[in-house]
Amino acid sequence: MHVTVSSDTQITDLTVNDHACLTFGEPEELFDLTAAFVRDGLASGLKVLWLSDSAPAAATAELAKRGIAVDPAVAAGQMTALACEDYLLSGQSFAAGHAVSWLNEQMNACRDEGYPGLRVAVDMSWALRPIAGVEQLPDFEENLGTVLADTTVSVLCQYDRERFDPVTLASITGSHTRLVAAATYHADAMLRICRQYAPPGIRLAGEIDYHAEEALALALAEALRLDGDITVNMAELSFIDVPCMRMIVNLARSLPPSRKVILRCQPGVASRFAAFGATEVRGVSLVTVNDE
């Protein structure tokens, strides 16, 4: 059985003045990793900006869904979600110089407001659109290293690895201090098993059966080492067999009473767990999600 854990840095390991390159494979993963980045930033008292590819309200709603207390942070001015177009870009054009001076303004404002540091996440999906000056993107990434040196500012550049071509990605990653991706335990056309960062746990997508038992066991064992409740996010899982269900339910049985396992599943998978008796195991809460 092929088990892989990426050797990239974990999102939770980022420190001040990191210029990190996050690659993600699907929106779910982007929102999850961003939520962890925002959560840890807010918890350290830093100011947090997210320039997202979606409307700011939709972006903050995604964070709230993952347990981040966005509203109070937004109200207090500690967290801001922005659309790239209005800030990093000038409408439909990009200039490295303009983007760097915008970032400098933000860093100054952050210092003036008394925050000990700043975290900026930037979804780079705008660069996939016909934007004038997009060829300056590598220059911008290169310059960021100088801008961030000796500051308490970290920038997380977010690239969709399915949509950016490998050549572009390769030309960009070199100018970052770290590469960040979700820890992945299994990925093929049928199944993806990866760590979930917010709320902490694991995420299964596709169909799982005993062929992936080993990867699932590893993912669960690592989730067990985290603190607090464990979410097993199966919202995008359409099939699970009995050995895999048993493994997940046994994880719940092995936890102390203070910790819970939350199973998020589609109705079909949820009824499998119910038939299996999962709802009768102490510490298991079964949450049915409808396709959103």
Partner 1 sequence: MTSDVPRSPELRDQADADSGRNTFSADTILDQPLDGESLYQLRASVAAHAVQAGLSQRRADDLVIAAHELAANVVRHGSGRGRLRIWRHDQTLHCEVTDDGSTPDPPESSAVRAGDPSSWPVEPGHGLWLVRQLADDLRLHAGRAGPAVTVSFALGTADRVRPFALAEHACGGSTELAVSGQLDHHSAEQLTGAIDRLLARDPAASVVIDLAGLTFWDAFGLAGLLRAQGRVQASNGASLRLASTPPQLAEHLLETGLADRFTFD
Residues near partner 1 (CB under 8 A) are 190, 207, 209-211, 239, 241-243, 246, 249-250, 267-268, 270-272, 274-277, 279-280, 288
The CA distance from 72 to 70, in Å, is: 6
Structure tokens at 109: 């404002």
Q: How far is CA 271 from the centre of its chain?
A: 29
Taking the least distance from each CB to partner 1, the nearer of 45 and 277 is 277
CB 106 within 8 A of CB 120: yes
Taking the least distance from each CB to partner 1, the nearer of 102 and 239 is 239
Work out the widest C-alpha separation in the chain, in whole angstroms.
60
Taking the least distance from each CB to partner 1, the nearer of 79 and 248 is 248
Taking the least distance from each CB to partner 1, the nearer of 149 and 210 is 210
Q: How far is the CB of 223 from partner 1 (least distance, A)?
A: 19
Please choose, from the candidates 213, 216, 214, 53, the residue with its C-alpha nearest in 3D space to the C-alpha of residue 122: 53
Contacts of the segment 61-65: beta carbons below 8 A, 24+ positions apart: 62/31, 62/34, 62/35, 63/31, 63/34, 63/35, 63/38, 65/31
**Tokens 């767990």, residue located:** 273
Q: How far is the CB of 203 from partner 1 (least distance, A)?
A: 20
Q: How far is the CB of 277 from partner 1 (least distance, A)?
A: 5
Q: How far is the CB of 168 from partner 1 (least distance, A)?
A: 34
Q: How far is the CB of 195 from partner 1 (least distance, A)?
A: 24
The CA distances from residue 149 to 145, 177, 242, in Å, are 6, 11, 52
Q: How far is the CB of 221 from partner 1 (least distance, A)?
A: 18
> 3-state DSSP call for residue 149?
coil
Amino acid present at 100: V
Taking the least distance from each CB to partner 1, the nearer of 164 and 276 is 276
- Strands (E) in the chain, as ranges, are 19-24, 47-52, 79-83, 118-123, 153-160, 178-180, 184-187, 191-197, 200-208, 230-240, 261-265, 284-288
The CA distance from 35 to 27, in Å, is: 12
Taking the least distance from each CB to partner 1, the nearer of 46 and 245 is 245
Taking the least distance from each CB to partner 1, the nearer of 93 and 250 is 250
Q: How far is the CB of 288 from partner 1 (least distance, A)?
A: 7
